[in-house]
């Protein structure tokens, strides 16, 4: 409960299952983002070495694809977290 950054009244209105679902999604999402960043750094290093050796021009298309994937994963994680944190029957102001 203390690791979810929501107002206390909203957290109190959430069920334990809801909080656990949010935790699972956040852990999975952060793991996916970390994996994507590691792959991106690997492709950047590989591209830098090949570019220095004259085997390729630039870093290649992989950096662009993984950059877009990081943005997509971040948007998905934000959307999923907000959708799971909705309390049924709560009134929005």
Main-chain dihedrals φ then ψ at residue 59, nearest 5 degrees: -90, -15
> Which of 11, 27, 29, 37 lies closest to 78 in space, CA to CA?
29
Question: pLDDT truncated to tens, each residue of the chain (93 aa)?
Answer: 566 777 777 778 888 888 888 889 999 999 999 999 999 999 999 999 999 999 999 888 999 999 999 999 999 999 998 888 886 665 555
The per-residue pLDDT for 29 is 94
DSSP 56: S
Q: Is 9 a domain residue?
A: no
Paired tokens of 82: 């907000």
| Residue 93 domain flag | no
Domain tally for the chain? Answer: 1
Query: Two tokens at 90?
Result: 């709560």
H or E stretch covering 21: helix 16-52
Quick check: is 31 in a domain?
A: yes
Residue 36 lies in a domain: yes
Q: Give CA–CA dist 86/41, Å, rounded.
A: 36
**In a domain? residue 41:** yes
Note down the domain range covering 20.
Answer: 16-84
Q: Is residue 90 part of a domain?
A: no
User: What does the pLDDT read at residue 23?
Assistant: 87
Confirm whether 45 is domain-assigned. Answer: yes
């Amino acid at each position: 409960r203390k690791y979810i950054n929501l107002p206390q009244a909203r957290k109190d209105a959430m069920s334990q299952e809801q909080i656990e679902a949010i935790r699972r999604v956040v852990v999975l999402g952060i793991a996916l983002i970390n994996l994507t960043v590691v792959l991106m750094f690997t492709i950047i290093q590989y591209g830098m070495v090949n570019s220095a050796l004259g085997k390729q021009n630039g870093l290649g298309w992989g950096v662009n694809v993984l950059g877009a994937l990081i943005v997509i994963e971040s948007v998905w994680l934000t959307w999923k977290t907000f959708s799971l944190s909705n309390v049924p029957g709560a009134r929005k102001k």
